[in-house]
Amino acid sequence: ITYFNKFYHMNLLLDCYQKAGKIAAEVREGARKKCHIGSTLFQICESIESEIRKRGAAPAFPVNVSLNDIAAHYTAEPDDNIAVNDTDVLKIDIGVHVQGYIADTAVTVCYDPKYDTLVRSAEVALSEAIRVAKANMKASDIGRVIETTISKQGFRPIQNLSGHSLEQYTIHAGRSIPNIWTIGSSFNLAPNQAYAIEPFVTTKDGQGVVHEGKIRNIFGITSRKPTKDKEVDEFLADVWNRFKTLPFALRWLLDKYEEKKARQYIEILIKRRNVHAYPILVEGNRKIVAQAEHTFIPSDSFIDIITL
């Protein structure tokens, strides 16, 4: 019976991952093909998140729409009026979950040919990394492939951003797959465990490191400890019931709360350390960044790239 339960659980888990991956891939390719010039970041986020929900899944985190030197963690504010122009490099990072099992994928879109090789570099590095990845391989060896591929094309990897393991309702589940070759301790990829590989690439004159910016508009619950403020505790319980430990955006709360009130509750919960606010991540020399990402599950005999 124990073996049967384990087998049933594994099949359910893989089925959820594959459904999430198929939806994430469809939505990503739709975003890749669409012309976003003139669209606001709010419109892009809302449109992509709507596409995920239409397909019977849910966003695993607010769609990241990071422009130019912002590498990651920007999502649209309510009625965000920042519009994409024809010189922008836009990274669209999409997470989809089915019963908490997450597929994480990203694409960079731009309309200025001078950045084509930068965007291509991230895509090629991802392809090479996925090509060599297998169960029991050292994560540092994947990092070496990513760094070598990017360097050969005349660009720099972002060394303090990495891929990651995924668990149910947990996007960053404790294991990191580096984008550079790291000397020293590493870990081996476990069979039947989900991982995301995501090369971030900048120009040769970039610092190759990201720093935290001032904007923080993605949030996640880190503690459910009561605050002893009835309204705030009810808000916390509601957010937990809706998103668990997954990141959320203020935009997602305005179906039930006034914007001013929701901001106030979030600020209180951040101060009490119930909620973490994720800062945007900006390239150290303010140089352009491109990104590409897939989620995959290695087994003993092959790897299943669920977001292909």
- Residues in a beta bridge with 279: 216
For 45, residues 6+ apart whose C-beta sits below 8 A from its C-beta are 62, 63, 65, 75, 76, 80, 249, 251
CB 84 within 8 A of CB 43: no
Active site residues: 93, 104, 164, 172, 198, 293
CA distance 203 to 112: 15
Exposure string over 257-276, b if 16+ CB within 10 A, otherwise e = beeeebeebbebbeebebbe
- Tell me the backbone φ, ψ of residue 106, rounded to 5 degrees: -150, 155
Question: What residues contact residue 60 under an 8 Å CB cut-off, 6+ apart?
Answer: 20, 95, 96, 97, 102, 103, 104, 171, 246
Distance CA 3, CA 56 (A): 31
- Number of Cα atoms under 13 Å in the Cβ half of residue 164: 14
Q: Please give the radius of gyration of the chain, using alpha carbons only, rounded to the nearest integer.
A: 19
Query: Measured in Å, how far apart are the chain's first and last C-alpha atoms?
Result: 35
Number of C-beta neighbours around residue 183 at 10 A: 6
CA 97 vs CA 103, 191, 275: distances in Å? 6, 21, 21
Sign of CA dihedral 266, 271, 272, 276: positive
Listed in sequence order, the DSSP H helices in the chain are 2-33, 41-54, 116-132, 139-152, 230-243, 259-271
